[in-house]
A and B are shown apart, each in its own frame.
Chain A
Amino acid sequence: MSIRIAVIDFPASNCNLDAIHVLNNVTKIKADLVWHNHFKESKYDGVVLPGGFSFGDYLRAGIIAAHSPAIEEARIMLKDGRPIIGICNGFQILTEAEFLPGALLQNESLKFICKWINLKVENIKTAFTNKLNLGDVIAVPIAHGEGRYYTDNLKDLEANEQIVFRYSTEQGDLTEDANPNGSLDNIAGICNLEQNCIGLMPHPERASEPILSPKRTDHGKLIFESMVEFIKRRIS
């Protein structure tokens, strides 16, 4: 049985083609770019909500997409345990749709930031991190204006092992300087209780080929390969 992934294309999901490129050409899985109005969950084993500015993000990042029929389809997948990843704007949509707890606020600097950062892997049990090692430091770029993670329930998040990635130094230290946007507790990515859905602000699809990485790494690819591994285990 062949695995099929949907990349949901909201208006101005402008990292849509990047995600498709990496899934099809780098990790070699069958992925379709699906216009949001046409999305039906039954055909797919997993779903990617790509980065961008869905519906222009004029009201608040991700909120319009969060109320779209496509997200209701995705909610069915969420419930039956299929893997869902929200990258950047996709993460914002997932918090707005309450797939994931917390919110993403404007960066502390009040400016958009585009740069390569380091992430410390804090949870390898999720659908997207099973190919990583606990404590690994991976290089991935960020590009966002509203990426400061905030939650009222940090304790619960920690107790439930929902923190997946934290901004860190190259050595894995969780310093203030390593935190690019003022996120609570350096949080860069989280998952739901069931660990089949994750959201992260950095862009793994931009870090999946050595040619694009300043250090010639391809750590981002492991996140997509983890999804494939998760699906295989789930099906078998």
Chain B
Amino acid sequence: MTKVILDGEEVDIEMTEWEYEKVKDLLKREPNLTELNMFSVMWSEHCSYKSSRPKLKLFEDAEENYDYVLAGPGQDAGVIDIGDGYALAFRIESHNHPSAIEPYHGAATGIGGIIRDILCMGVRPIALLDPLRFGNLKGNPHSQWLFKYVVKGIADYGNCTGIPTIGGEVEFDSSFESNCLVNVACIGLGTIEDFKHAPSRAYNPGDYMVLMGGSTGRDGIHGVTFASRTLTEMSEADRPAVQIGDPFTKKMIIEATLEAVKTGYVRGLKDLGGGGLTCATSELTGDGNTGAKVDLRKVFTREPGMNSYEIMVSESQERMAFIVKPEGLETILEVFRKYEMNFAVIGRTDDSKVLMVFDEEEVVVNIPAKALSESPMFKREEKQPFYLKELLSQKTPEISMGLDEIIYKLIASENICSKEWIYRQYDHEVGVRSVVKCGEGDSGVLRIIGTDKFISASVGVNSKHCFLDPYEGAKGGLVEECGNVIANGANPLAMVNCCNFGNPEIPESFWYFSKAVEGMNDFCRDLKIPIVGGNVSFYNEDEVKKTAIKATPMIMIVGLIEGQENIITLPFKNAGNDILLIGETKAELGGSEYHSVICDLEGGTPPKVDEAKIKATWEFIFELYKNKMIKANHDVNKGGFIISIAEMCFKNILGAELDLSHIIKENLRDDQLLFSESYGRFIVETDPKDYDNIQKLAQKYSVDAKKIGVLISNPKIKIRGLGNKDLILDVQKLKENYDSTIPNLMEI
């Protein structure tokens, strides 16, 4: 906060003194109150990426490097060409701070915002995915409250708009107790023509600027500046900065917008999100190299007496700004009338390169259109936290209880157990596209009606791994999410990310961000995965404990499957088939669920990523797919491969006879073998007759593909070959433990 004197009055602004001087330099005069507030909004961390931009430059070149990338970072959403004339748009962003204060509306409006981002690419939103983070549920009513209402907020909003929520991910960890994470992702599908019709620029002077949708009220004023600082005890007082969602209006906006775009009379399109009208008008004209004259009193407001600065920075939901060709204005307005949407022609573009806003006759804003996007950048300091050395050197204690007891406990742990309680509340089938549904596979798979193509999408990252090593953890997140789409038979096509970190002004927090970005960049360049968009959420800190959240560079991967017969699913199919473990298991228990749930330990050696091995493994898997050798596939994730095997047994109530003597190695303890979370592994079901051919291919690719057992019809998992005694686990009991954890905690 800085105090400045404006018109003889002292005002507090969310800007440093240095930034204020820069505003004066740009304008060559003192700003008035409205202008100053507009700068304060647009130069907030949330809108300007002023701390992250220097680092994010690494991601900028996807459009140049990949032919099929139509829109890359810096646009409202990433867009790729998936063939047959179709464009796929997708993006992920955060709505953490609002959700931590008001979980229901915070989450709901997060969904609203991400839908608008996709919509303003001119395509129809067809799927939502929501990765979440909360404090541990057990014994923690606050976390339960946040969890319950975030899920309800997503469900009520998503369900009403008719967009299926096809996936997500959740972790519970004490570092998220007061600062939960609500990340929201949306996928849109349209023709390449649709996409070309709707650039987020007003590049033609003389076009009309039309505001459509919800009315402008006093809600959400300064939402972005609120999102650009740490939550404190006082943040409850910021509740008015949380917007209120209206999914019904959103549904009408979706239909009206798509119908308007189809007319061909829309020349530019932008949603009103963070920064409201300020952001939309300045970015449309700034990016389009034009200017505009806007009449504030044309804006339809929810309440009388709103002053110019309130109208310019309000973040009221459900609004879209259209740039309309003059000859098509009446046609466009007729579309809005059909849907009974409010609208107003609020201005016209010109070639002045100046954004001029009138309040009746008075000029209240007169600034160069590009000035608002010329925020200063900050080179933040970074420093590895001192505590890491000690954490990384922590040793796994001796095995403290029976391995069978450990497995029963692990499968019931909050981070591993079934998430059915969540996805049952989401309409994940509307749209008649959902082919692999929630709980049926590692990713959500959607068909593209009228083609034999399928989209697969998965989102997540392991925050515990990232906390110990953000560079490897971010790479690991990519391995994991790509692994999820590959497990369903899809070829990973592109990635978007949402970086959730602490206060960037604290060097230790910024270090996490910096390393995670480097990890994502290095991996994506090596494995040829374009990064087509991102979002950054800083200031995620626990003010009471004075600690940042565990670093969470959330990753979403979108992949493509050509041909229905190439969709692979998770459940084991037939007794008698082989179970193969693909990939190498190493002593990598750092940040594992085993450490946290059984040993009460945060540290240890976290998994590392070997890109060459990962690449070979993926190529090997696709070779097996090509030869139709895989009957079921599940990537190995939290809790290690034994958990994966159990999950694959559930659906068809099968069992397994495992002999681990072939994979047990010297220096690898039983707990490390079973529960290690080494990246790049899959459990697959194969036909015994293919065994020899699979081994030959494994040699060709230098990949481990060891047979570790066979499927049996008796629902027991029998394990031999451990250093410890043999184990027999009951699949029904595992499933009960797996299914009951969240309902037991939430249905009280």
Interface residue ranges, A against B (CB under 8 Å): 11-12, 14-15, 17-18, 21-22, 25, 35, 51-53, 55-58, 111-115, 141, 143, 145, 203, 205-206, 209, 211-212, 214
- A-B pairs with beta carbons under 8 Å apart, 12 shown: A11-B340, A14-B162, A18-B431, A53-B162, A53-B251, A58-B248, A111-B425, A112-B427, A203-B429, A205-B432, A212-B429, A214-B437
Asked if B427 contacts A143 (CB within 8 A), the reply is yes
Asked if A211 contacts B429 (CB within 8 A), the reply is no
Which residue of B has the minimal Cβ distance to A26?
B432
Asked if A21 contacts B247 (CB within 8 A), the reply is no
Asked if A12 contacts B252 (CB within 8 A), the reply is yes
Residues in B whose Cβ lies below 8 Å from that of A143? 159, 427, 429-430
Which 4 pairs of residues, A with B, have the shortest CB-CB distance? Answer: A14-B162, A56-B248, A12-B251, A143-B427
Asked if B248 contacts A11 (CB within 8 A), the reply is yes
Interface residue ranges, B against A (CB under 8 Å): 152, 155-156, 159-162, 246-249, 251-252, 338-340, 423-432, 434-435, 437, 440, 447, 449, 564
Residues in A whose Cβ lies below 8 Å from that of B249? 56
Asked if B248 contacts A12 (CB within 8 A), the reply is yes
Asked if A206 contacts B429 (CB within 8 A), the reply is yes
Asked if B429 contacts A35 (CB within 8 A), the reply is no
A-B contact count (CB 8 A): 86
Cα separation A222 to B429 with both chains bound (whole Å) = 20
In angstroms, how far is the closest chain A Cβ from the Cβ of B649? 17
Cα separation A11 to B247 with both chains bound (whole Å) = 11
Residues in A whose Cβ lies below 8 Å from that of B252? 11-12
Which residue of B has the minimal Cβ distance to A208?
B432
Asked if A112 contacts B425 (CB within 8 A), the reply is yes
Listed residue (B247, B426, B447) with the most chain A CB atoms within 10 angstroms of its CB:
B247
Known A11-B340, A214-B440; judge A53-B424 contact (CB<8 A): no
Q: Beyond A11-B251, A12-B248, A14-B430: 9 further Cβ-contacts under 8 Å?
A: A14-B161, A21-B432, A53-B162, A53-B251, A112-B156, A114-B424, A114-B425, A143-B429, A211-B564
Cα separation A127 to B608 with both chains bound (whole Å) = 63
Asked if B425 contacts A113 (CB within 8 A), the reply is yes
Residues in B whose Cβ lies below 8 Å from that of A209? 432
Cα separation A211 to B449 with both chains bound (whole Å) = 11
Residues in A whose Cβ lies below 8 Å from that of B429? 114, 141, 143, 203, 206, 212
Cα separation A11 to B255 with both chains bound (whole Å) = 9
Cα separation A51 to B425 with both chains bound (whole Å) = 16
Known A35-B338, A114-B429, A115-B424; judge A212-B435 contact (CB<8 A): yes
Residues in B whose Cβ lies below 8 Å from that of A17? 431
In angstroms, how far is the closest chain B Cβ from the Cβ of A21? 6
Residues in B whose Cβ lies below 8 Å from that of A35? 338
Which of B339, B423, B449 is in CB contact (< 8 Å) with A11? Answer: B339
Cα separation A35 to B335 with both chains bound (whole Å) = 12
Residues in B whose Cβ lies below 8 Å from that of A52? 162
Cα separation A21 to B159 with both chains bound (whole Å) = 20
Asked if B428 contacts A114 (CB within 8 A), the reply is yes
Asked if A22 contacts B432 (CB within 8 A), the reply is yes
Cα separation A11 to B340 with both chains bound (whole Å) = 9
Residues in A whose Cβ lies below 8 Å from that of B428? 114
Which residue of A has the minimal Cβ distance to B248?
A56
Cα separation A18 to B433 with both chains bound (whole Å) = 9
Residues in A whose Cβ lies below 8 Å from that of B440? 214
Cα separation A212 to B449 with both chains bound (whole Å) = 12
In angstroms, how far is the closest chain A Cβ from the Cβ of B79? 22
Which of A18, A22, A55, A115 is in CB contact (< 8 Å) with B430? Answer: A18
Cα separation A55 to B160 with both chains bound (whole Å) = 10
Listed residue (B162, B251, B338) with the most chain A CB atoms within 10 angstroms of its CB:
B162
Cα separation A98 to B431 with both chains bound (whole Å) = 29
In angstroms, how far is the closest chain B Cβ from the Cβ of A191? 25
Asked if B162 contacts A112 (CB within 8 A), the reply is no
Cα separation A143 to B434 with both chains bound (whole Å) = 14
Known A11-B248, A11-B340, A12-B248; judge A56-B160 contact (CB<8 A): yes
Cα separation A55 to B339 with both chains bound (whole Å) = 11
Residues in A whose Cβ lies below 8 Å from that of B447? 211
